């Protein structure tokens, strides 16, 4: 079975009005996207779909965690994420001056349409740029932090001539 099959919406058989769909986004989902930066995750994605005669309003909301590395100590953490995005899908030809990235145009005769790519992108956009153990309610690896600060020999500071030269460097004044 195709991993992304559950994300295909049957537009022709879908009645007008509100529809609620819940997806369990996990490792298999992210593996379906080549070069995905996320390898492990457990995210619950809720899609509220409002079908109108010439328009679909898709409200995505998600919460869960993705496996990341702490930017400070490089420890593997389960980084909590959550977010919400809205996507408008209009039936018909794309307008010439459409610069709104939250509006997608599909042909009127479209019978099925996949939301997998949008779910993937929205979850990736929900991952913070700076990832730290504090965000995952854990503490950084003190041994690694000590090593990165140059105290790798048990308390006595090692001297690196390049680092020492940079410490004394001053920005020239204009």
Three-class secondary structure assignment of the chain: CCCCHHHEEECCCCCCEEEEEEEEECHHHHHCCCCCCCCCEEEEEEEEEEEECCEEEEEEEEEEEEEEECCCCCCEEEEEEEEEEEEEEEECCCCCCCCCCCEEEECCCCCEEECHHHHHHHHHHCCCCCCCHHHHCCCCCHHHHHHHCCCCECCECCCCHHHHHHHCCCCCCC
pLDDT of residue 116: 96
Residue 94 has what pLDDT?
74
Predicted pLDDT at 97: 61
Which parts of the chain register pLDDT below 70?
A: 1, 96-98, 150-159, 174
pLDDT (0 to 100) of residue 45: 97
pLDDT of residue 39: 92
pLDDT at residue 151, as a whole number: 56
């Amino acid at each position: 079975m195709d991993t992304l099959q559950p994300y295909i919406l049957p537009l022709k058989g879908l009645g007008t009005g509100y529809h609620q769909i819940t997806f369990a986004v996990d490792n298999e989902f992210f593996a379906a996207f080549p070069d995905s930066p996320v390898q492990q995750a457990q995210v619950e994605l809720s899609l509220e779909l409002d079908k109108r005669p010439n328009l679909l309003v898709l409200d995505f909301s998600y919460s869960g965690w993705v496996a990341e590395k702490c930017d400070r100590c490089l420890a593997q953490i389960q980084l909590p994420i959550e977010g919400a995005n809205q996507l408008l899908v209009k039936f018909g030809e794309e307008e010439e001056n459409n610069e709104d990235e939250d509006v997608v145009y599909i042909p009127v005769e479209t019978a099925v349409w996949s939301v997998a790519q949008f779910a993937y992108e929205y979850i990736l956009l929900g991952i913070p740029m700076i990832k730290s153990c504090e965000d995952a309610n854990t503490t950084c690896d003190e041994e690694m932090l000590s090593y990165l600060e140059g105290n790798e020999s048990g308390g006595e500071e090692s001297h690196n001539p390049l680092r020492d030269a940079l410490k004394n460097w001053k920005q020239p004044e204009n």
